[in-house]
Structure 1
């Protein structure tokens, strides 16, 4: 999170594989309470993030 100046604990991040089909998204822990409070969203679990040897984040949909 060095590039955006936010600590990981407070960064609000959303990973979307396909913006035309929003049936499944991945959110950072700081967004969980908002997602759980939203009537049209269901939190289904956690997927830990992984990084490549070069430090590039791996796509969450490839991990679940």
Structure 2
């Protein structure tokens, strides 16, 4: 009898800690932990903001790194 394939756990929120927010001008900007505004950045998923698991994922989705 064959064993079923092992389940791959979905990424956890802790693993996906890059915050993608949208500025008032409509710019899509991501913040990684340790950046100046990371802690005060709030994500509102209803307005299109989201979390990313890597900078590569954020860049591939068309977001840019925060400045400063």
Q: What is the TM-score with the length of structure 1 in the denominator?
A: 0.28
Instruction: Considering fraction of residues, name the structure with more strand.
Output: 2
Q: TM-score, normalised by structure 2?
A: 0.28
Structure having the higher helix fraction is 1
Higher relative contact order, chain-length normalized (CA < 8 Å, sep 6+):
2
